Each structure stands twice: as C-alpha cells, then as structure tokens.
Amino acid sequence: MKIAIPLLAIAAAVLTAALRPAIAADDPYLQKRAGMVRDQIEREGVSDPRVLAAMRDVPRHLFVSPSFRAKAYEPYPLPIGEGQTISQPYIVGFMTQILRIKATDRVLEVGTGSGYQAAVASKLAAEVYSVEILESLAARSRRTLSDLGFRNVVSRQGDGYYGWEEKAPFDAIIVTCAGGHIPPSLLRQLGNGGRMIMPVGGPFMIQNLVFIEKDARGSITQRNVLPVAFVRLLGH
C-alpha cells in the first residue's frame, strides 16, 4: 500500500505531461472562443447559458478555410467560397437564442454554408436537418460536421426554399440567407408551437431578421427584431 500512492502519483504526472502538448496547442483557440463569447455575444445581450456554452464549445476556426482561421473569432462574417459567408458570431448567437431550442426539438436549417450554425444548433436540439443549394458547400460542410462528430446533424444538397417536407414538422426553423418574402413551404412545415427566424429583404434593400411564431392552433404572428445584411436566398 505504501508503494501504490507514489506509483499513482507518477502515473498521473506522466499522463498530465502527455496531455499538456495537445492542450497547449489548442489554448489559443480556447482563449479566443472564450473571448468571443464574453465580448461579442454575452456582452451584447445573448444570455441563454446553453447557447453560450455551445458557442464556447464549437470550434469555429475549423469551419473556415485555413487562410482565415486567424480571424475566425473576430466580430464579422468571413468568406467560405461560392460568394457565401459564415455569419458574424453575434448573429449566430442571437438567432439561436431567439428560437428557444429545446433538447427534444427537431430543427430545420436553410443554408448550411460552412455548417457552423448547424453545429451550434445541434448542441441544443435532438435533431438538425440542414439544406444547402450549392453542391460544393454541401459536400464540404457534410464532411466537416462528420469529421467533428456532429452525429445529430443530417444535411443534403437541395433548394432550401422548399424546406424538407419528408422530415416536417419542425419545432424550429432557421434561415441563414435573405429572401424577399417568407417561403410558404417553410411556414407549412413549421409545427404548431414552433418558432422561425429568417432575414427578409432584397439584396439592395434593408433586410430585417423576422421572428415568426405559430401557436397551438396554427395561427402565425411575426415581428422584425434586428436589421441585418445577409447573402441572398438562392434557388426557387
């Protein structure tokens, strides 16, 4: 028994030393993530602890190209190819919070892009279904999400204007590209009691994030919540 304690201590020290290089290698990103959440998201009014935890956890830098990783935690959108962008961190946090996603929810995302918003939503929901119209982005985001172990995200290439009828109804719908109007197909696929957020406005017009709710009887209400600038909704 007298020998066991030193041996355990030595084993623990060896394990700690072995892990230290891996932890140290990721420290710059961990610190940047924590700073992003603290300074850009929480300070600006996003307060849901589950949303904040998800955004501290999801490695945003792995959803952008290597040439932009140094800027992944800065307070602005970044290009991801095909004329598309990964949204500003605050906008991701705001849109996620307003949906009040529960652990049992089924979520539809229109516009997978890099896959970052789907990854954040997947930390809160039971299932996330995401549609991306651009084949190259659909393939890349699917690979990224799979490599990072996001098993409750299902994505496909297609025209998100029409949603994903086979998987409806959805408890929450998040649209990450701006359209001139709210697609009727998405309103139909939103379940009773569901919530939806979408930027609405043309490419040369003022855009607003519009929050839509469908009550238990299927009645729909909507309101503008934030002026924004998003890439346009393609297809349809």
- Catalytic (active-site) positions: 87
Per-residue exposure over 157-180, b if at least 16 CB sit within 10 Å of its own CB, e if not: bbbbbbbbeeebebbbbbbbbbbe
